[in-house]
Amino acid sequence: MHLPSDPVVEARGVTKTFPGVRALDAVNFSLRRGEVHALVGENGAGKTTLIHVLGGVLRPDAGEILVEGRPVRFRHPADAARCGIGLVFQELSLAGNLSVAENIFAHRQPVRAAGLIDWPALHARTRELLARFDLDVDPRTPVRRLPAARQQVVEILKALSRGPRVLVLDEPTSSLTAPDAQHLFAGIARMKAAGASVIYISHHLPEIFRVADRVTVLRDGRVVGTCAAAEATEQSLVRSMVGRDLANIYGERQSEVGPEVLRVREACGERFSGVSFSLRRGEILGVAGLVGAGRTELARALLGAPPMTAGTVALDGRPVRIRSPADGIAAGLAYLTEDRKQDGLFLDMTVRANCVAPSLADFAGRLGWMDERRIDRFAEDSRRRLRIATPGIAQRVRNLSGGNQQKVLLAMWMGARPKVLIVDEPTRGVDVGARSEIYGLLRQLAAAGAAILMISSDLPEILGLSDRILVMRQGRLAGEFLRGQATAETIIARALPPDGGG
Ligand SMILES: Nc1ncnc2c1ncn2[C@@H]1O[C@H](COP(=O)(O)OP(=O)(O)OP(=O)(O)O)[C@@H](O)[C@H]1O
Ligand SMILES: [Mg+2]
């Protein structure tokens, strides 16, 4: 008999192997009614694979899944959905050309007699859902027109609209704005109160302590342990995830800041205006602000994609005009995109090919032949230094876990040795061990003379790494702090709009 205290969903001895990787190894996992159960672990630990098995996306090689005590065999995500399991994917799964309403209610649109879609009802129900996140978006808007953060909300609403008994969230806040994250936490609390359960994956440990009742740690496809969140600390979780203690992950500056490299005056563009700042050799300049403050637009404009509409840029004291990314790269700028899927990686190419893509010319020998051995060495070296979890550099990037894809992107631009490196959310979706590696690499690049502009929504990262911090709000500079002068509170106070809203 199934008692109310028994697990709603359970995995027993689940094993899943991909070519060269045992992603899950005899995993036991149980989810209780009304609980939020967090899954944590390094990139490639098997978190996404586990929830894909629970959600009917992947079939396990061995072991079984039980729902309310009964063994089930999911052939398709729809089978899991019928059992009340709703997944919000780490990588967005929306149809860009369809409207917000069509995406949320895909295949379940309210119909009138004669089977016609009841558009007014569809739009009204969509508006109700959007209101839960205080979103004033027309339900008819094509999803591709929304910024990534909004698309993520649509993805979440799509799962919530089915009223699932089990909601599975794979790094839901990695591209949410702070107010949207608050709405999500409120939504989770409502679900819990109604007796539903949530599986919550995140690399942001403070979030785990905020939402989770229990935590399970995965490492290399195995369960290290499960405990009550109240009994864990950030340090204890990190130790179980990484297998060792991590000291100050942000490191210390290794050399002096040098002369000015970049000066931007009164830059204007699509979503920013009147932005002036300078950047010096060896400096790490953090740019804080809410999602939507215009930081990415500013960075892209520096690269010429699209160019600034007004203002000037000088590199090493000489004025430059950057009209396209090719101009920007030629001038010594590099931009590590926040949107790795859209315009960062070549998903169907190998890790090796991606690592050297922007610096391929450096690997050409005298007669124009590619020095394949050096490419191998560079790619192998990147894999080792960034600890990219993959059976080999010949693996296609598409098959890597989300965080490992981010590491490949970093390897790409670090190899190009730019004068000014702009990194946009460099550690989004990256586990704490790899994060500390990435910080170390950014510090090394700075010590070697690069000037680094680091856009980040992760305040501890901004505070831990920056020599100087700019805060952007609604497209304008709203504050500047020297290292040591800023706190999370002072930055947030500058980043929030004057009315205090989102
Ligand atoms: N389709 C696939 N083909 C080959 N290998 C895969 C495939 N999907 C996942 N893997 C591998 O399985 C392992 C587990 O991946 P998974 O995506 O579950 O990790 P994760 O814990 O979610 O990591 P992250 O925090 O980076 O999202 C990784 O080594 C990954 O490269
Ligand atoms: Mg994952």
478 burial class (0-12, 13-18, 19+ CB within 10 angstroms)?
buried
Distance of CA 94 to the CA centre of its chain: 17
Q: Ligand 2 is a single-atom ion; what residues have CB below 5 A from it?
A: 48, 90, 401-402
pLDDT at 180: 81
pLDDT at 500: 45
Distance of CA 179 to the CA centre of its chain: 17
Residue nearest to atom 1 of ligand 1 (CA): 399
10 Cα: distance to centroid of ligand 1 (angstroms)? 21
Strands (E) in 73-210, as ranges, are: 85-88, 166-170, 197-201
390 Cα: distance to centroid of ligand 1 (angstroms)? 8
Instruction: Give a three-class secondary structure readout of 172-238.
Output: HHHHCCHHHHHHHHHHHHHHHHCCCEEEEECCCHHHHHHHCCEEEEEECCEEEEEEEHHHCCHHHHH
pLDDT at 119: 87
Residue nearest to atom 2 of ligand 1 (CA): 399
Amino acid identity of residue 165, one-letter, is R
Task: Kindly list the protein residues whose Cβ atom lies closer than 6 A to any atom of ligand 1.
Answer: 18, 21, 23, 41, 43-49, 90, 389-390, 399-404, 431
The C-alpha angle with vertex 339 and arms to 103 and 381, in degrees rounded to 5, equals 135
- To test the pocket of ligand 1, the residue of 388, 401, 405, 437 to mutate (highest count of ligand atoms within 8 Å of its CB) is 401
CATH number listed for the domain at residues 260-495: 3.40.50.300
Starting from the CA of residue 203, give the closest ligand: 1
pLDDT at 177: 73
Separation of alpha carbons 483 and 139, rounded Å: 44
9-242 is classed CATH 3.10.290.20: no
pLDDT at 70: 94
- The pTM (predicted TM-score) of the whole model is 0.78
Atom index in ligand 1 nearest the CA of residue 45 equals: 21
Residue nearest to atom 19 of ligand 1 (CA): 44
| Domain assignments of the chain as residue spans, ordered by start | 9-242, 260-495
The C-alpha angle with vertex 244 and arms to 239 and 247, in degrees rounded to 5, equals 90
Query: Each residue's pLDDT tens digit in the chain (502 positions)?
Result: 666 678 999 999 999 999 888 999 999 999 999 999 999 999 889 999 999 999 999 999 999 999 999 999 999 999 999 999 999 887 767 888 899 999 998 877 777 777 778 888 889 999 998 888 888 889 999 998 887 778 888 888 888 888 899 999 998 887 777 778 888 898 899 888 888 999 999 988 889 999 999 999 999 999 999 999 999 998 899 889 988 777 788 888 878 899 999 999 999 998 999 999 999 999 999 999 987 889 999 999 999 988 999 999 999 999 999 998 888 888 999 888 776 666 678 888 899 988 888 777 777 776 677 788 888 999 999 898 888 889 999 999 999 887 888 888 888 877 777 899 999 998 888 888 888 888 988 998 899 899 999 999 888 899 999 999 999 999 999 999 998 899 888 998 898 877 544 4
9-242 against 260-495: fold identical: yes
pLDDT at 2: 66
